[in-house]
Chains A and B, each alone.
Chain A
Amino acid sequence: AQSVTQPDIHITVSEGASLELRCNYSYGATPYLFWYVQSPGQGLQLLLKYFSGDTLVQGIKGFEAEFKRSQSSFNLRKPSVHWSDAAEYFCAVGAKGNEKLTFGTGTRLTIIP
């Protein structure tokens, strides 16, 4: 069975500082990996996804993520956060031929001035 661990429940970052959100997955074959963002009272929006190829993936809103098979990780990064980035971030794993996703428990991001 596939699973996702997001070890950080809550992260606080100063506006303009860099950000890294951690995600570790467990899956026997090649995983399909995703990052979603959820603002309060809203549905989830896809930031980026990784299927294969270049392990550094660019997404929307200036986010990127790097797939590291040796560490079973898919960490999300942003060089300089904006106040509007405050939200809940979810990492998810899927598999080729099975589009059902398994989500982590999320990391809540707070931005301070």
Chain B
Amino acid sequence: DTGVSQDPRHKITKRGQNVTFRCDPISEHNRLYWYRQTLGQGPEFLTYFQNEAQLEKSRLLSDRFSAERPKGSFSTLEIQRTEQGDSAMYLCASSLQGTYGYTFGSGTRLTVV
């Protein structure tokens, strides 16, 4: 068990560019969550998957954001036409349904310049 892996750890991008982050959950976990954390705040829920199905999306997730979890394994979070307000830490977590035992990855820190 290698835990939850996120790639890249850091990403600096110019405003207007597209970025994609990857999350590899713990292999036996069927739920995968994306959260966003800005400086001085707690994580805010973005979306979650059960296997390959995206079950809920936050209103925070504008049309520029899209997430996928093909085949119920790894997940990607894409942000199109990035804005400075997108600068944040993007956290991925996984769990077994019903356990409420999130395991978080170390996050991807996005800086939009």
User: Is B106 in contact with A100, judged by CB distance below 8 angstroms?
Assistant: no
A36 to B16, CA, bound (A): 34
The answer, yes or no, to whether B41 is at the interface (CB within 8 Å) is yes
Pick from B40, B44, B56, B106: contact of A103, CB under 8 Å: B44
User: Is A45 in contact with B104, judged by CB distance below 8 angstroms?
Assistant: yes
Pick from B41, B56, B97, B103: contact of A106, CB under 8 Å: B41
User: Is B40 in contact with A101, judged by CB distance below 8 angstroms?
Assistant: no
A49 to B95, CA, bound (A): 14
The answer, yes or no, to whether A63 is at the interface (CB within 8 Å) is no
Complex interface bits, B15-53 against A, C-beta within 8 A gives 1, otherwise 0: 000000000000000010100000011111100100000
Secondary structure dominating the interface of A: strand
A111 to B99, CA, bound (A): 33
A23 to B104, CA, bound (A): 21
Complex interface bits, B72-90 against A, C-beta within 8 A gives 1, otherwise 0: 0000000000000000000
Known A-B contacts A43-B4, A106-B42; the reply to A51 vs B100 at CB < 8 A is: yes
Residue of chain A at shortest CB distance from B92: A43
Q: How large is the interface on A (under 10, 10 to 19, 20 to 34, 35 or more residues)?
A: 20 to 34
Q: Which of chain A's residues have a CB closer than 8 A to the CB of B105?
A: 43
A41 to B89, CA, bound (A): 10
A90 to B93, CA, bound (A): 15
Q: Which of chain B's residues have a CB closer than 8 A to the CB of A51?
A: 100
Pick from A34, A43, A46, A101: contact of B106, CB under 8 Å: A43
Q: Which of chain B's residues have a CB closer than 8 A to the CB of A34?
A: 100
User: Is A43 in contact with B100, judged by CB distance below 8 angstroms?
Assistant: no
A-B contact pairs, 13 of them (CB 8 A): A32-B100, A42-B106, A42-B107, A43-B91, A43-B104, A46-B101, A46-B103, A49-B100, A99-B31, A100-B56, A105-B40, A105-B41, A106-B42
Q: Which residues of B contact A (CB under 8 A)?
A: 4, 31, 33, 40-45, 48, 56, 91, 93, 95, 97-98, 100-107
Q: Which residues of A contact B (CB under 8 A)?
A: 4, 32, 34, 36, 41-46, 49, 51, 90, 92, 94, 99-106
